Amino acid sequence: MSNVTQTQGFIQNPGYKKKLILHLCSVSGRSCTKFLNRMLAEIMTDEVAVNYSYKGQRGKHCFEDLQLKSLLVCCMKRNPVTRKSSLAFDIELGIGDWLKRARQRLERKNKKTAVIWKTLERQEESSGSEDEQQSDSNSDSEFV
């Protein structure tokens, strides 16, 4: 949580806040949901997001109280694609949904990582057995 706390401190600096808003506004999306999800992914990893809920329920930290929320609202209103539709779009609900799905995204990412590692291990094992077969055939040819 220290990174979030640190970011909260940086947001107090008007220059940093302006740069962060400009950066988040540059993250594009064709809909309010996609734009919001991409901005959230820019400012918070899933490993951190699993520790937050919008209202701070179930022993999690409260996202609603963070200054990041007001930055996201500001960016939604500044973006030409989402400016008009963000009025009807429930930003709080969108943030809450993204935070809820953090555990699923993290599990999916961990599962993909495990599959990649297993694949690499199999490739390493098969290349190791091929190397042994080649060295055995080379040693057999020396005796012939």
Same domain for 74 and 110, yes or no, is no
- 90 and 43 in one domain? yes
Q: What is the mean pLDDT of the chain?
A: 85
Q: Into how many domains does the chain fold?
A: 2
Give the residue from 140, 35, 133 showing the smallest Cα distance to 77: 35
**Domain extent at residue 122:** 105-144
Q: Are residues 83 and 63 in the same domain?
A: yes
Asked whether residue 8 falls in the same domain as residue 54, the answer is yes
User: What's the pLDDT at 144?
Assistant: 47
The confidence score (pLDDT) of residue 44 equals 93
Do 48 and 88 share a structural domain?
A: yes
Q: In the predicted model, is pLDDT for residue 76 greater than 80?
A: yes
- Whether 109 and 93 map to the same domain: the answer is no
Average pLDDT on 62-71 reads: 92
Q: What mean pLDDT do residues 110-117 have?
A: 84
**CA of residue 47 relative to chain centroid, distance:** 8
